[in-house]
Amino acid sequence: MPGYNLPKTYDFSAIEEPLYAWWEEKGFFKPWNDPNLPNFDPSHKPFVISIPPPNVTGELHLGHAMFVAMEDLMIRYHRMKGEPTLWIPGTDHAGIATQLLVERELAKEGLRREQLGRDEFLRRVWAWKEKYGNIITRQIRRLGASCDWSRERFTLDAGLSRAVREAFVRLYEKGLIYRGLRMINWSPGLRTAVSDLEVEYSEEPGTLYYFKYVLADDPNTYIPVATTRPETILGDTAVAVHPQDERYSAFVGRKVRVPILNRLIPVISDPYVDPQFGTGALKVTPAHDPNDYQIALRHNLEIINIMTEEARINEAGGPYAGLDRFECRKKLWEDMRAAGLVIKEEPYTLTVPRSQRGGEIIEPRLSEQWFVRIKPLAEAALRAVQEGRIRIIPERFTKIYYNWMENIQDWCISRQLWWGHRIPVWYCDDCGAMTVAREDPTHCATCGSMRIHQDEDVLDTWFSSGLWPFSTLGWPEETPDYKYFYPTSVLETGYDILFFWVARMIMFGLEFTGREPFHTVYLHGLIRDEHGQKMSKTKGNVIDPLEVMNQMGTDALRFTLLVGSTPGNDINLSLKKVEANRNFANKVWNAGRFVIGALDMCPLAPQGAPQWTLADSWIWARLQNLLREVERLFESYQFGEAGRQIYDFFWSEFADWYIEIAKIQLAEGGDRAFYTAYTLVRVLDTCLRLLHPFTPFVTEALWGHLKKAAQSKSEAFAPKEGWAEALIIARWPEPKAAEEWEEQKVAEFSLIQEIVRAIRNVRTEKKVPPARKIPTVMVAGEHADMLKEQTQILAALAGIASDHFHILEKRDTKPGNEITLVVSGIEVYIPLADLVDPAEERTRLETELSEAEQQIARLEALLAGPFAQRAPSHIVEKERQKLETFRETAQRLREQLQALGE
RNA sequence: GGGCGGAUAGCUCAGUAGGUUAGAGCGCCUCCCUUACAAGGAGGAGGUCAUGGGUUCGAGUCCCGUUCCGCCCA
């Protein structure tokens, strides 16, 4: 009995790693149709996903687990459908994150990167990357990701760097990249610019500070002004009021004195000022506020920067120079209070810009940076979605995408970091011209001078990520991979990076390749804890996917993520759910053990043509229905629902009913046993295929055992197309149109199930010991023949004593002292004197009768109304059938009650 | 301020072709170690599908309004 040689419990820990190694070694992760090989056939359409590149120095979290599960599901599905399938893995260099990590390490040695110099520092980062860079990819393997590792890419690889260089130069040449002095978001901690998207705004309690702007020519008069950031007073270059504001019109054109510094600045009028806010007079700090900067441009105001890169006050701040921005706020305010310039303070809720990374307060800063002129790119990207060339799932995100694309601002792409793609721009020390080149230049393109130096900054990591779908395939080279695999098929990622990444890939893809980089965008939700809270270290509710896999297996985690989620919606993950799915994997394993064992209990070959039993036909019909459902759901990206249906079929129909009945059929021996084993093998085989994209390990392992057992038994158990080398490349089950006989068999089997449940129910109610067999008489009218054929099964499943079991068409003797059930018009009598209490029996029958009568009344009303005329006939017919059955049931119940009354 | 999502069993959620007795997992109650599986089996309790209207023969599902929770953008 080979089935029983398998362990009783599915032991994932012994199976996962070797299985993954085997898949990879066998080359199953590579597309079977490879444009680099001689037998390549370009006529097959490939299915391609490029992985959302994780941070090269990162470690696995549930977000990774989610996208790997989701993408591996799609990849395995398409691979099994026979499409040449490619999933390109890789990582990105994560400029800021990685640089921070290495700087932190340096700090332990008491070093700063400036002390090492750029080259030495970069050498250290690369060393770091070599050392820790493959942790994340190893962890991704652990999840079962079937990506083609021979094509792995890294954003700082030579090839991808070339793509970045090419992209930059092209945009520059088209005038879509420019350098300019702009108000940007500055991260004082990181000492670099960040993009708009990297800033988060949070409402926080703060203070509104009211103070006096004293008139230069009249020390006793002042304009009251309110601010949330008093330290910026040091950089004020005007006070602005609304042109129509009569309170202040007399002051316009005059000068006021900057507190403490005593600089004289003008009072101006500008419609931007909101007379309702604060005092209605606005202090203008052009170098430290985007709106003030605009005002300054309109009025030609002086622009005074008062802060260093680290947000300390610089020499422009006079006595406050050297103070941190918040220390300065306190000190200045105290000094102003002492000088009698303070009016009052009010609690005020402010909107604080914070760095998405680290959370420090972002400082608006006037600075020279590189920008992408985004409008033309965005317009094309907008059209691609509007015209349906790219579809976003779930659909509601298209609106969000439109909204962002329509209001997009130029993208600040320069970062004051060292780790990244250095901006390919050289400045001439002689003529001052810029040279922008694909190859590092040796001299100035304008004057020929050799005295040139490269821009110090690097590009935003997302700039290189935006090229990912094609840079990974060799672009700008027209490589065989690029020509065959691009455009890719589906881009799958979390909705939180729709703008950061997806939108930019679409813009860049269209701009550089002239094609949409993918036809479908599938967005998954974020993973939260079991009560919907965001996971965070401070809350202590972080679930480590590696730990979960160690405890419950990769399949359990994957199945939980896949089945517990719906497109675009967040998922609340609890370990209880993972545990339930571990149990499912174990259920599959054990059903497999049974089927494999069954092969030993049947003959090698049948004597005659199959005589399918009701159960055989039923499970087959249900399986066919499942195939149709799964196909429909996969096509509409409803993977979770598909998984749920497979789960339900496997457990509640195949395992709970068919396997139980198969035990009886196998015991019959002969052809019955053979065809039962055959059905078991076929259904299990099909289920394993359907489940494989969800739970690759347990299915592959079990399928291997099944294949071996079946092969060693007889070729008669092989699938039509023969046994594939491995489940991962076995054929996906294709659905067929429903056949005539299916409905009838399903209906008949439902009746069997109903009867069995009714008897089990009454057994429990009457506390009949499980082992006790009970006598039973069924009176089944037109169903009698059908039920007779199922005698054995009914007896076994309901615990009926075979030699006291009678199925009749009609009953002529009067009912005696017995329990009576009526199931869909079929009478079931259990003559057990010791169990019967006539009063109880009467009550039970009355309750059931009243329920039936309620249904009859409901259905009669329904069928008497407009429903009968308006609803489709098959729906009406269904209700008529129901009514008929209830009437019959009610009639039987009345007879019983009458008999009881005699 | 604009947009989006959610509200279904004690908890977490499915229910995306509208079909008339609303499902799962977990939790709870009863019983059972029956040779696939106690990570299991059998039975059971538990829901006016947030709310008010509308469309329809028929609404958890479609439309409009309201309330609460969450997210995104400005």
3-state secondary structure labels for all residues of A446-491: CCCCCCEEECCCEECHHHHHCCHHHHCCCCCCCCHHHHHHCCCCEE
The answer to whether some atom of strand B lies closer than 7 Å to the beta carbon of A175 is no
- Could you give the ipTM of this predicted complex? 0.95
Q: Which nucleotide lies nearest residue A393, CA to C1'?
A: B16
Q: Which nucleotide lies nearest residue A534, CA to C1'?
A: B70
Q: What is the pLDDT of residue A815?
A: 62
Q: How far is the CA of A246 from the C1' of B39 (A)?
A: 79
Q: How far is the CA of A312 from the C1' of B24 (A)?
A: 58
Q: What is the pLDDT of residue A814?
A: 62
Interatomic CA distance for residues A742 and A736, integer angstroms:
12
**Coil/strand/helix, residue A310:** coil
**Coil/strand/helix, residue A568:** coil
Q: Which nucleotides of B are covered by protein (CB under 7 A)?
A: 2-6, 11-17, 19-21, 24-26, 30-32, 34, 36-44, 56-58, 72-74
Q: Which nucleotide lies nearest residue A396, CA to C1'?
A: B4
- Six token digits for residue A92: 């990105």
User: HSE of A376 in the Cβ direction (CA atoms, 13 Å)?
Assistant: 9
Which 603-642 residues of chain A approach strand B with CB closer than 7 Å?
Answer: 629, 632, 636, 638, 640-641
The answer to whether some atom of strand B lies closer than 7 Å to the beta carbon of A532 is yes
**With contact defined as beta carbons under 8 Å apart, do A754 and A808 qualify?**
no
Helix (H) or strand (E) holding A154: strand A153-154
The answer to whether some atom of strand B lies closer than 7 Å to the beta carbon of A200 is yes
- For residue A487, say if its preceding peptide bond is cis, omega within 30 degrees of 0: yes
CATH number of A571-738: 1.10.730.10
Interatomic CA distance for residues A393 and A341, integer angstroms:
58
Residues of chain A short of pLDDT 50, as ranges, are: 1-3
DSSP state letter for A902: -
Interatomic CA distance for residues A851 and A859, integer angstroms:
12
Question: Is the CATH code 3.90.740.10 the one for domain A192-363?
Answer: yes
Classify domain A837-902 at the CATH class level. mainly alpha
**With contact defined as beta carbons under 8 Å apart, do A336 and A260 qualify?**
yes
**With contact defined as beta carbons under 8 Å apart, do A97 and A58 qualify?**
yes
Q: How far is the CA of A849 from the C1' of B66 (A)?
A: 43
Place of tokens 């080398």: A725
CA distances from A225 to A206, A222, A331, A554 (A): 17, 9, 19, 62
The answer to whether some atom of strand B lies closer than 7 Å to the beta carbon of A583 is yes
Interatomic CA distance for residues A211 and A294, integer angstroms:
24
Q: Which nucleotide lies nearest residue A797, CA to C1'?
A: B42
Which 403-462 residues of chain A approach strand B with CB closer than 7 Å?
Answer: 403-404, 407
Which 365-404 residues of chain A approach strand B with CB closer than 7 Å?
Answer: 396, 399-400, 403-404
- Six token digits for residue A594: 């049974």
User: HSE of A887 in the Cβ direction (CA atoms, 13 Å)?
Assistant: 9
Interatomic CA distance for residues A286 and A283, integer angstroms:
10
- In Å, the largest CA–CA distance within chain A is 121
Q: What is the pLDDT of residue A1?
A: 42
Q: How far is the CA of A251 from the C1' of B64 (A)?
A: 53
Using CA atoms of A498, A504, A509, A512 in order, give the dihedral in degrees to the nearest 10: 180
Q: How far is the CA of A65 from the C1' of B70 (A)?
A: 24
CA distances from A676 to A619, A646, A671, A717 (A): 11, 21, 8, 11
Q: How far is the CA of A109 from the C1' of B38 (A)?
A: 57
The answer to whether some atom of strand B lies closer than 7 Å to the beta carbon of A878 is yes
Please tell me which residue lies nearest to nucleotide B69, judged from CA to C1'.
A532
Strands A281-284 and A238-241: antiparallel
Q: A462, A447, A372: which is closest to A171 by C-alpha?
A: A372
User: HSE of A675 in the Cβ direction (CA atoms, 13 Å)?
Assistant: 19
Interatomic CA distance for residues A189 and A200, integer angstroms:
16
The answer to whether some atom of strand B lies closer than 7 Å to the beta carbon of A862 is yes
Q: A749, A824, A743: which is closest to A787 by C-alpha?
A: A749
The answer to whether some atom of strand B lies closer than 7 Å to the beta carbon of A655 is yes
What are the phi and psi torsion angles at A342 (to 5°)?
-85, 135
The answer to whether some atom of strand B lies closer than 7 Å to the beta carbon of A847 is no
Rounded to two decimals, the pTM is 0.91
pLDDT tens-place string over residues A848-863 = 888 888 888 888 888 8
- Six token digits for residue A668: 């019959």
Please tell me which residue lies nearest to nucleotide B36, judged from CA to C1'.
A594
Q: What is the pLDDT of residue A626?
A: 94
Q: How far is the CA of A221 from the C1' of B74 (A)?
A: 38
Q: Which nucleotide lies nearest residue A852, CA to C1'?
A: B21
Q: A582, A685, A643, A802: which is closest to A12 by C-alpha?
A: A582
In chain A, where the domains are located: 192-363, 571-738, 837-902
Q: Which nucleotide lies nearest residue A577, CA to C1'?
A: B25
Which 725-764 residues of chain A approach strand B with CB closer than 7 Å?
Answer: 756-757, 760-761, 764
Q: How far is the CA of A859 from the C1' of B61 (A)?
A: 23
Is A537 annotated as a binding-site member?
A: yes
Q: Is the dihedral of CA A395, A399, A405, A411 positive or negative?
A: negative
Interatomic CA distance for residues A8 and A129, integer angstroms:
43
- For residue A476, say if its preceding peptide bond is cis, omega within 30 degrees of 0: yes
Please tell me which residue lies nearest to nucleotide B58, judged from CA to C1'.
A867
Q: A821, A846, A842: which is closest to A831 by C-alpha?
A: A821
Please tell me which residue lies nearest to nucleotide B74, judged from CA to C1'.
A407
Q: What is the pLDDT of residue A2?
A: 42
Interatomic CA distance for residues A795 and A780, integer angstroms:
15
Interatomic CA distance for residues A678 and A477, integer angstroms:
53
Q: A315, A322, A300: which is closest to A261 by C-alpha?
A: A315
